[in-house]
Amino acid sequence: MRLRSLLPRICIIISLALIFPVAAQDNPYRNAGGVTAADISVRIGPDGIASSDMSSVTFNGAGYLHKIGRVTIGIIPQIAGLDTKSVTNGNTRIIGSEPSVRYEIYRDLIKESVTLNGPAPVSYSYDLRLSDWITNEPDLSRPEVSYDANKTEIVTYPYTKQVTTYAKDSTIDINPDRWGNLVVYVNGEDVVVMPKPFALDATGKRFEMEYTLNKEKKTITVSGDLTGAKYPITIDPTERVTNGGFETGDTSGWTSEGNPSLSVISGGANEGSYYCYYTGGGGYSRIYRTVDYTGVTSASMAVKVFSPNTYDFVLSDGYWQGPWNFVIDFPGQQVTGWVTNSATPTLSGDQSIQIWTYLNTQAGIDSIHAYIPDPPTGGFTCPFTARFIDLSTNSPTSWSWNFGDGDSTNATQQNPVHTYNSAGTYTVSLTATNADGSDTETKVDYISVTAPQQTTFTVFAEGVSDYHGGQPPLGSAVPLASTFYQNIVGANNGGISWTGYAEFYNDDAGSKHWSVSEIFPIKADNADFALFAGHGANDRIYFGTSNSVLELPRTDMQFGGSKLKWLTLSSCYILDEDTQVNWHSVFNGLHILNSYETEGLLYDRQGGIYAARLKGGIFEGQPYQVRNIRDAWRMTLEDTIDRTDYFGASMWAEPCGNDYLPGYGSFCSAPSASIQYEKFDCKTD
């Protein structure tokens, strides 16, 4: 950048070496809203219902209900001036005129476009529901054996049984991913994606938009910078079925050829609650779906064989012998469990995942994943050394640099080297002088330096069950704390690992681990995440009688000054609504404090469920989806207490309220002094 000087004989340019571009990871669902040759249109009937073999869409006013197996998604546009007059033609329904909403219905796609003739807010109310689901499933306990002309043994399962899966035993949720798409999950498996929206103006210029999700109000808002847009504009929020994990209870998103027999079976799956039971159609047969491989570095699938038949499963790009042959081949062998294979594809863009079988092979298919690595991050880590280069004209004779961090070392050199030792954003200026005067150029927020990325995090846990008469025994406190600790220690995901810092139980627990005033080398504040389970009150926590200090008041606690970011006190009344503001004093860099607002109910399994909700996975046979730290606490109490007369609560420093456990989602780097509070009843929705 070249600026004209106030003194016409001097012009200053500051250039900084070592600035590297940041590679951007393309959104894998960027084109998921587009109609492809594989999309099968579905006619909308006079009753406003469009039904296919996989799903149905029922229109009601300007909105609709999308039913995919046992999943129902309700969407209602909230657009000022939108009337409900509609025109239907084939698979297309147009609602309103100025503004208007256009829907095109395909088997696995609701292609939507909103046309605005002037600036107007666009939002939706939504509802997600699961229904009980009854399936007729092969009875795997009653096999029949036959032989073909070559005396090859063929095992089949001709008998069926009726199985009911109850909605209460599954979970459904919607969350944004890192690219700005909204994804509906059932039991942690994606079933529907709403690709990041965009807008096209009257000239065809594209404007990137974004979703804002409000789970409390159940609204989705579409917004973006439309500066310079020529109206009318068309916004493109769209819904596509993915259902890679069969969690809708059917085979939505998949197409079959060669007459295979497909049924979705509950229970015993590799992931989630359902998987696809697949019987070949006599020769070569397949099921397939389209996947966008943009940015994919590896892919995997899981299969299970139920009888020792010879079989081949191939996951390919559309050819039996393609450039990426993903073959699971155990001829004549009994496979006793789920087998997951993975490979590095040589594909890009939209390709077909095809699962082939030969003869009458019976197998289960589940958990097909394409993995996209996290994008690289920009900025510099401290200490960071930069060389500044003076490109001034008109022969300056002296230089005065201001590097923005208060360190004037080398500030009078023409081309100085400067080291930034602390994280921060720095403004840099140079004043150059010659015989005719001086001039200054300033680069605002020119250098961004971050602390080195932390890759190892630590957890601390403490629980008191035995109070020896000072307080009543609290039997579940120690199992809760220890189970949490055991299920966090060893976690490793996204290049981040969790190790144990310390754990203390019963008589080994004590105020010395939590107190500001007591001197002791092991402190909860030296870990990243700490959990205490035991008796508490609205201004203190309690320990057993073998401790010299039996209770520790809030006024002797402060966290975050050393290391602690996330704290859970599984204790009664800590965040009582009337006195919760007093707990602001413990925030000294702390991000989140979770606890109870009322009396609490502690259960042995709460620690394991809490850990499973923080990092995803299975605990006691139940799958859990990754949640942020506040939601994980709330849902753990709902899972285990399920009563409206008990309340949990959270307190957090902005903007850290949506922190995830490191390795499993994003978390804020700089908590502010603005402290927020929220309480919730412990009743499952």
Q: Per residue in 405-446, pLDDT tens?
A: 888 999 999 888 888 887 778 888 888 888 888 888 888 777
Per-residue pLDDT for 374 more than 90? no
- The pair of structure tokens assigned to 187 is 């039991």
Place of tokens 């938009």: 209
Which pLDDT score, from 0 to 100, does residue 598 have? 96
- Which pLDDT does position 268 carry in this prediction? 53
Highest mean pLDDT (candidates 189-203, 588-602, 663-677): 588-602
Say what the pLDDT of residue 501 is. 93
Worst-scoring range by mean pLDDT, 309-318, 359-368, 598-607?
Answer: 309-318
At 285-301, the pLDDT tens digits run 677 666 555 555 555 55
Q: What is the pLDDT of residue 311?
A: 39
- With 60 as the cut, is the pLDDT of residue 16 above it? no
- Per DSSP, the three-state class of 334 is coil
Give the residue, 680 or 51, on which the prediction is more confident.
680
End-to-end CA distance of the chain: 56
Residue 459: predicted pLDDT: 97
Burial class (CB in 10 A: 0-12, 13-18, 19+), 593: buried
Q: Report which of residues 573 and 375 the model is more confident about.
A: 573
Band of the pLDDT at 458, cuts 50, 70, 90?
very high
Q: How far out from the chain centre does Cα 612 lie?
A: 14
Looking at the predicted structure, is the pLDDT value of residue 561 above 90? Answer: no
* Better-scored residue on pLDDT, 494 or 287: 494
Q: Cβ distance 134 to 70 under 8 Å?
A: no
Q: What's the maximum distance between 2 C-alpha atoms anywhere in the chain? A: 104
Q: Which of 396, 380, 481 has the alpha carbon at shortest distance from 431?
A: 396
CA distances from 344 to 117, 313, 373, 601, 624 (A): 47, 17, 13, 48, 28
Q: Read off the tokens for 259.
A: 């007459």
Q: Is 78 exposed, middle or buried (0-12, 13-18, 19+ CB in 10 A)?
A: middle
Letter string b/e over residues 281-305, b meaning 16 or more CB atoms within 10 A of that residue's CB: beebbbbbbbbbbbebeebebbbbb
357 vs 583, residue with greater confidence: 583
Instruction: Classify residue 326 by burial, with Cβ atoms within 10 Å: 0-12, 13-18, 19+.
Output: buried
Q: Is the pLDDT score of 391 beyond 90?
A: no
Bridge partners of residue 493, in order along the sequence: 496
- pLDDT computed for residue 337 by the predictor: 46
pLDDT computed for residue 239 by the predictor:
82
Percent of all residues in the chain with a pLDDT value above 70, rounded to a whole number: 76
266-283 pLDDT, tens digit per residue, is 665 555 566 777 676 666
Out of 205-209, 545-549, 670-674, least confident range: 545-549
- Mark residue 419 as left, alpha or beta (left: phi above 0; alpha: psi -120 to 50; beta: remaining): beta
Distance CA 236, CA 230 (A): 16
pLDDT, residue 480, reads 97
Q: What is the mean pLDDT of the chain?
A: 79
The first and second tokens of residue 294, run together, are: 């943009």
The distance from CA 40 to its chain's CA centroid, rounded to whole angstroms, is 30
Q: Residue 578's pLDDT band (boundaries 50, 70, 90)?
A: very high
Alpha carbons 465 and 571: distance in angstroms, whole number: 12
Among 48-52, 239-243, 497-501, the range of highest mean pLDDT: 497-501
- The pLDDT assigned to 321 comes to 29
What tens digit of pLDDT does each residue of 629-665 get? 999 999 999 999 999 999 999 999 999 999 999 999 8
**Chain Cα centroid distance, residue 26:** 17
Q: Give the residue with greater pLDDT, 6 vs 294.
A: 294
Q: Is the pLDDT of residue 91 over 80?
A: yes
* Mean pLDDT along residues 144-167: 75
pLDDT of 360 reads 61
Q: Percent of the chain, pLDDT > 90?
A: 31
pLDDT bucket at 505, cuts 50 / 70 / 90: very high
pLDDT of res. 343: 43
pLDDT the model gives residue 6: 30
Using omega within 30 degrees of 0 as the cis cutoff, is the peptide bond preceding 99 cis? yes
Contact 104, 243 (CB under 8 A): no
> What is the pLDDT, as a whole number, of residue 468?
77
Looking at per-residue confidence, does 12 or 89 come out higher? Answer: 89
Reading the block at residue 376, the tokens are 């690289």
585/189: higher pLDDT? 585
The CA distances from residue 365 to 269, 288, 300, 560, 625, in Å, are 9, 12, 12, 47, 20
Summarize the confidence of residues 332-338 as an average pLDDT.
Answer: 39
The long-range contacts involving 2-5, CB below 8 angstroms and separated by at least 24 positions, are 3/441, 5/439
Beta bridge partners of 277: 263, 364
Assigned token pair, 164: 């009911």
CA–CA separation, 560 and 526 (whole Å):
9
- Please say if the pLDDT value at position 21 is more than 70: no
Nearest alpha-carbon partner for 55 in 128, 107, 20: 107
Q: Does pLDDT of 620 surpass 80? A: yes
Average pLDDT over residues 457-478: 90
CB of 260 closer than 8 Å to CB of 287: yes
Residues 42-65: b if buried by 16+ CB within 10 A, e if exposed = bebeeeebbebebbbbbbeebbbb
Q: Is 434 exposed, middle or buried (0-12, 13-18, 19+ CB in 10 A)?
A: middle
